[in-house]
Amino acid sequence: MLSQIIAITGLNLRSIPQRWGPSLVIVIGLAGVVAVFTALLAMAQGFQATLKDAGRTDNAIVLRGGSGAELNSGFGGDSADLIKLGPGIRKGKDGRPLAAGEIIVITELFKKGETVNGSNVTLRGVEAASFELRPQLEIIEGRMFKPGLREILVGVGVTRQFAGVELGQVLRMRGSDWTVVGIFEAGDANDSEMWADLDTARSAFNRGNGVSGVRVGLESPESLAVLEEALTADKRLTVEVLQEQAYYSAQTGQFRAMVSVLAGVVTLIMALGAIFAALNTMYAAVATRSREIATLRAIGFGGFPVLVSVMIEAVVLAFLGGVVGAFIAWALFDNLSVSTLGQSFTQVVFAFQVSLGLVMAGLVIAVVIGFIGGLLPAVRAARLPVTTALRTQ
C-alpha cells in the first residue's frame, strides 16, 4: 500500500512541470492568502511590541484621577512634589527619589512628502530623572539639550516618518524656535516622541509649574500597591497610579482588536476564494489524467493510493504557495516603518514584525486549504469507473 502511494505520488509530482499553468493557480492563490494574513498580523504584532516594550513593571505613572491618559491629565507642581515623596519609590543615582514630572504638548509635524495636513506628535518636557527611568534610551546622534535653551531631542522613529526634524533644523512652535540638537533611540514607543527640558517647555507653552503626570521608579514591582494606597489616601491629591507597562499595553487593545478583525475577515474570504480555485485546479488535474489513473487502477493499483496521491499533490502545491506568500510578506513588510494614531492622540511610529510564529500559522492555513481543496477531487479520482475512463478520449 505504502509503496503504491509513493509510486503514484512521485509520478504526479514529477509531472507537475508539464502542466505548470493550472498548478500555478493553487500556488499563487495560496501565496496571496498567506501574504495578506502574515502582513496584517505582523502589523498588529509590531504595534503591540512597540508599546509594550516602552513600559517597565518597576516603573509607575501617576495621573490625575479618571484621566486614563497622560494627555488628559494635569496637576500643579505642589501635587507633583507631594507625589515624589511617596513611599515605595526607589532612590536614583543622586540619592533622591527617582521620580520625574513630565508635561505632554502635542505638536504638529508634516509627514515626509505631505504639505497640507500635519500629524500630531508628542513633545515631552522631561527632567533629568526621566532619562534614568528609561535606561533603554540612548542619544545616538548629536548631544543632550542644555536646560534653559530651546533645544530638543528627537526620537529616531520621528526622524523616519516626519520632515523637518534633522539634526540642526529649527522647529517653530508657538512663536518660539526650537533647534534639534540630538536624536535618541529606545527601540520602543518612546522613539515616536520629541523631548525638551521640562522648565524650558513649561515657560514656552505657558504651563506655569504644572505637569501632566509624574513618572516614578519603584523599589520593586510590588511597591506599586504601597504607593497607590498612600497617594489615594492623601486628601490633598486626586490621583491614579498605574504600572507603566500596563499603561502602555492598555493602549494597544483597540488597535489590535481592529487589525485582528480585519485580518480574520480578509483571510477568511480570501481563503474561501482560494479553496474554490484549488478545487477547480485539482478537478481539472484529475480530469486530464483520468485515462492515466484508470490505467493504474487496471494494472492493480488500489483506489486509496490514488486518493492519497491527489491529496498530497494539492497539499504540496498549497504549501509551496504558503512559502512564497510568507516570503513576499517578509520581503515587502518586515521592519517596514509606519505610523498611526495612538490612543493618546499622537502618532506612534512602529515597524512590522514578521515573526516565525506568524509564518508557521500562515503555512498551517495554506496546508489546511490545500487539504480541503484536494479532498473532493481526490475522492472523484479514486471512484473513477475504470472501464469508461479508459474509453474516453
Partner 1 sequence: MTKTGFVIANLFHKKTRTWLTLLSVVMAFVLFGLLQSLNLVFSAGADFVGATRLVTQSRVSFTQSLPMRMVPEMDAIPGVRSVMYQQWFGAVYQDNPQIFAFAVDPERLHETYPEWVMPEEHWNAFRDTRTGMIAGKLLADQYGWKVGDRIPVQSNIFPQKNNSKDWEFELVGIFDGQDEQWRRQTAGSIYINHAYFAEAALFGGGMAGIFVLRLEDPEMAESIAALVDERYLNSSDETKTQTEKDFQVGFIKQLGDIGMIVRWILFAVFFTLLLVVGNTMAQSVRERVPQFAVLKTLGFSDNSVLGFVLAETLALCLIGGVVGLGLATALGAVVAQAAGPMLPIAVDARVWMAGVVAIFVLALVVGLLPALRARRLKIIDALAGR
Q: Residue 17: helix, strand or coil by DSSP?
A: helix
Of 66 and 148, which CB lies nearer to partner 1 in the complex structure?
66
In angstroms, give the least distance from the CB of 338 to partner 1: 4
353-392 residues in contact with partner 1 (CB under 8 A) are: none
User: Is residue 28 involved in binding partner 1 (CB under 8 A)?
Assistant: yes
* Nearest distance, CB of residue 336 and partner 1, angstroms: 9
Q: Residues 5, 9, 14, CA angle at the centre, nearest 5°? A: 155
Out of 144, 266, 372, 390, which residue is the one contacting partner 1 (CB under 8 A)?
A: 266
**Which burial class, exposed, middle or buried, applies to 18 when counting CB atoms under 10 A from its CB (0-12, 13-18, 19+)?**
exposed
Cell of 27: 500556488
Q: How far is the CB of 148 from partner 1 (least distance, A)?
A: 19
Binds partner 1 by CB under 8 A, chosen from 274, 316, 381, 389: 274
Q: Which of 8, 26 has the CB closer to partner 1? A: 26
Does residue 241 bind partner 1 (CB under 8 A)? no
**Positions 193 through 222 that interact with partner 1 (CB under 8 A):** 205-206
- Choose between 144 and 338: whose C-beta lies nearer to partner 1: 338
> Is the dihedral angle over the CA atoms 275, 280, 283, 284 positive or is it negative?
negative
Tell me if residue 111 falls in helix, strand or coil: strand
**Location of C-alpha cell 485546479:** 281
Asked if 112 is part of the footprint of partner 1 (rule: CB under 8 A), the reply reads no
Question: At which residue does the C-alpha cell 533611540 appear?
Answer: 185
- Count the residues in the chain: 393
Quote the cell numbers at residue 356: 516565525
Of the candidate spans 50-58, 112-120, 130-138, 244-252, the one that interacts with partner 1 by CB under 8 A turns out to be: 112-120
How many Cα atoms within 13 Å fall on the side-chain side of residue 102? 28
The answer to whether residues 298 and 290 touch, using CB atoms and an 8 Å cutoff, is no
Does position 39 bind partner 1 by CB under 8 A? yes
- Tell which one of 89, 99, 126, 279 touches partner 1 (CB under 8 A): 279
Beta bridge partners of 75: 211
**Residue pair 60/225 in contact by the 8 Å Cβ criterion:** no
Q: By C-beta, is 98 or 358 nearer to partner 1? A: 358
89 binds partner 1 (CB under 8 A): no
Which of positions 63-82 make contact with partner 1 (CB under 8 A)?
64-69, 71-72
Closer residue to partner 1, CB minimum distance, 261 or 364: 261
Of 10-18, 194-202, 222-230, 268-276, the segment contacting partner 1 by CB under 8 A is 268-276
CA angle 256, 257, 260 (to 5 degrees): 80
Instruction: Please provide the DSSP assignment of 179-235 as one string.
Output: EEEEEEE-SSGGGGEEEEEHHHHHHHTT-TT-BSEEEEEBSSTTHHHHHHHHHHH-T
Residues that bind partner 1 (CB under 8 A): 21-22, 24-25, 28-29, 31-33, 35-36, 39-40, 43, 64-69, 71-72, 105-108, 114, 116-120, 173-175, 205-206, 238, 258, 265-266, 269-270, 272-274, 276-277, 279-281, 283-284, 332, 338-341, 345, 347
